[in-house]
Structure 1
Amino acid sequence: MRLSLCSKKAQLIVKHTFIKWKQRRSLGLILHGAQPSTVNYSEFPLLSIHDWPAIVNSTHIETVQIGVFTVPMDTSSKATYWVHKLEAIRSVLNYVMEVFNSEIQGFDIEDDVTSSELQWIFNWMTSRTTIFKTIYVNITQATTEDLNLFFQNVKVSDGLELRGSSNNCYPPYRFFQSVRRFINITNGFWLEKRHLDSFNCTIIYLSKTRFSSEDMNIYLRKWKEGKTFSRLKLCFIETTDVNVEKLLEGMDVTEVPLETVRKYKTQRGNYITIRGGFDITRHDGVFATVNIRRWPTANEFTWVVWPDWIHEIHGESIIG
């Protein structure tokens, strides 16, 4: 059954099944610059926001009430048409939050978003007294002032992806402390060890860092002693060098022959092929496999913690 979110019937259904919707915490915004933006419930689009000139001739166009605004909507695609984009996004977000009695939890801010649009969404996010579930954002177009606002006031609970390169404004280490599921930083030249010290999530992807094999040795030692990365299951870090001796210095390890191939199942159900490597054991008996290799485009440090797939870590669900 499909219902229009703008219909009173849909609003009543959501209202009277409130617990079902609330538990999933799945309202999200996909914010585009040139393309239409969309508000979703989980992976399902609720309403999309289009520029007024883009309105098409369709037998499905109806006039609907969204907040205080009356706008045309294509009922077949849930596309709404607006004159002022940012006012439209504000109105749709407020409307959807009212219908579901829930905050927007996820933000996917695409690469085509302009500097002024980043400023607007950062201000909107910091105006909410909530911890967001996931944020994916390219920070290249953001000003120093806007990044400071974002880094100082926004908190993320599950997943964080920072793409692009900022203008000499980088997150304080405490920005990462609340993230429990994954951190993905695609241009991590600015990362320092104090940032890594604040990480305690399940999955870490860091590219273009200035970390060395010797730096990774520090964190392997800490992990063996139970002093860091207690939630870690999977880690990929691009390093400045490939030095196995420095990586493993001072640790008891078991070298696995290169011809030994193991499959590591990820949280998405995919498999990573582990060829050889070095097994290390934590003080509590948990063991991991690490390796560092030179590839054509980068040096990569790999760290996987066994068992490869469990449904729950420290009482927290690992999803998708």
Structure 2
Amino acid sequence: MEQLHSLFNQFPRFLFPFRQSHPQFPLFRLPLVAYKNVIDLMTSYEQVSLSLCSRKTKSIVKKIRHRPTSLQLWILKDNQVKVTTGHFETTNSVREFSVVMGVGERKLNSCFIQTVFIGEHRIPVRVKSNENGIEYLRTYWEDENLGLRVIADYVCDLFRVDLFGLYLMNDHRRMFDWLCNRQSYVYDLRIGDKNRISDEDFKYVVQNSNSEFLVSDAILSETFRLNNFNKKAEIIALVNSHWITIDNLMTVDALRLDVLTGKKFTNKEVNTFLNHWIHGGSSRLKQMQIAVTDYNEQEFLEGINVQESTPKRRNYKGFYEFDFHVTNTVHLVREDGTIASFGISAMNLFFLAVWPDYTGRTFESFD
């Protein structure tokens, strides 16, 4: 336990001597309610660090710490397990993350003072600071992907929650299989490309995922195609997606669709999708952004009956930071009477916005 003594000297509010006779920590001489309050005042990083001192301290932290219902664990970029609190709702609020543990490469010539046991692994650790000066524990592994899985399992067990979000950066298929084996569902799945993912692994991940958020900026081969893309989600957002087709978009069941770069649709393809929507297709769709080649309103509205409204500036409040101003007086009406606005967004993308918006405001409420 002396191995973490210097780590806890980093905490100005909590100093835990390691050479005490029973009980080992003066903190635990206090009544249960008192030291529970102290633990609840700690940051998530401090709670994780305390838990690594011994099996007993891990058990205490795990059992008595306050469990906020809104606590979420994420694996994002930079091989870090991060925590955030506050409900992840369909509002335009910025998420604030704090790092609790990270993973780095263990090099042969590296010298480490402290080591800890995480599961069956004895691992070197250091206290590091992120770009904002916030401290976290960085662990060092010969296999960084293994380390990421081990520390994620440890923190999930300690806080008694599953991962809320995962960013697959490399070793994509193995990391995805590990995720599926440890929990049945992750809300937010992102496919990145630190090390290029194979076409087969991308197809495997996409077809087997059941996440509400599916986001990808993976770079795939020029010949890649995905014939079966009938996914159901809240958001599907694609970058570097040369492979996506208008038929793919018509088989997706999502509230929001974004195709941001790598693919430009023709006006005829937009016309095909709008006809599909008007006749009842993609019935859950609330908003869409796609890039269009040589945007021509007359061409993509060919054969579609549109309606005129009074000139009004309509502010559409969308899902997850998707707000824009509707200035187009022409709008679409689906067979069931649902109204949708369309136009070109500030990002120079074609957008479709289905009313009412996220706040419940209707198209007519602006008249």
Query: Same fold judged by TM-score > 0.5?
Result: yes
Distance 1:281 1:88, change over 3 A: same
Show structure 1 runs of 4+ deviating over 6 A.
54-57
Distance, in Å, in 1 between the alignment partners of 2:292 and 2:275 is 17
Distance, in Å, in 2 between the alignment partners of 1:274 and 1:194 is 27
Indicate the structure (1 or 2) with the bigger Cα radius of gyration: 2
Counterparts of residues 1-40 of structure 1 (less than 5 Å): 1-2=41-42, 3-6=46-49, 7=51, 9=57, 12-15=60-63, 24=70, 26-32=72-78, 37-40=79-82
Counterparts of residues 128-207 of structure 1 (less than 5 Å): 128=182, 130-139=184-193, 141-152=196-207, 154-167=208-221, 168-174=223-229, 176-179=230-233, 181-207=234-260
The structure that is strand-richer by fraction is: 1
DSSP-derived class of the 1:64 partner: strand
Deviations along 1:196-253, whole A, 9 cap, x unmatched? 122222221113435322222233233233x222222221111233232232233332
In the alignment, structure 1 residue 282 sits paired with structure 2 residue 334: yes
Counterpart of 1:213?
267
Distance, in Å, in 1 between the alignment partners of 2:204 and 2:120 is 29
Counterparts of residues 99-138 of structure 1 (less than 5 Å): 99-110=158-169, 113=170, 117-125=171-179, 127-128=181-182, 130-138=184-192
Distance, in Å, in 2 between the alignment partners of 1:11 and 1:229 is 49
Distance 1:277 1:184, change over 3 A: farther
DSSP-derived class of the 2:148 partner: helix
Distance, in Å, in 1 between the alignment partners of 2:111 and 2:287 is 47
Q: Is the 8 A contact 1:50 1:79 kept in 2?
A: no
Distance 1:151 1:14, change over 3 A: same
Counterpart of 1:48?
102
State the one-letter code of the partner of 1:5.
V
Give the deviation of 1:123 after TM superposition.
Answer: 4.3
Q: Is the 8 A contact 1:47 1:78 kept in 2?
A: yes
Give the deviation of 1:119 after TM superposition.
Answer: 4.9
In the alignment, structure 1 residue 291 sits paired with structure 2 residue 343: yes
Give the deviation of 1:38 after TM superposition.
Answer: 0.7
Distance, in Å, in 2 between the alignment partners of 1:144 and 1:31 is 21
Distance, in Å, in 1 between the alignment partners of 2:249 and 2:293 is 16
Distance 1:15 1:169, change over 3 A: farther
Distance 1:144 1:300, change over 3 A: closer
Distance, in Å, in 2 between the alignment partners of 1:29 and 1:184 is 18
Distance, in Å, in 1 between the alignment partners of 2:101 and 2:159 is 13
Q: TM-score scaled to structure 2, two decimals?
A: 0.66
In the alignment, structure 1 residue 71 sits paired with structure 2 residue 123: yes
Counterpart of 2:355?
306
Give the deviation of 1:159 after TM superposition.
Answer: 0.9
Distance, in Å, in 2 between the alignment partners of 1:15 and 1:233 is 42
Q: Is the 8 A contact 1:264 1:273 kept in 2?
A: yes
In the alignment, structure 1 residue 234 sits paired with structure 2 residue 287: yes
Q: Is the 8 A contact 1:27 1:40 kept in 2?
A: yes
Give the deviation of 1:309 after TM superposition.
Answer: 2.1
Give the deviation of 1:158 after TM superposition.
Answer: 1.3
User: Aligned residue pairs: how many?
Assistant: 289
Distance, in Å, in 1 between the alignment partners of 2:111 and 2:291 is 47
State the one-letter code of the partner of 2:257.
I
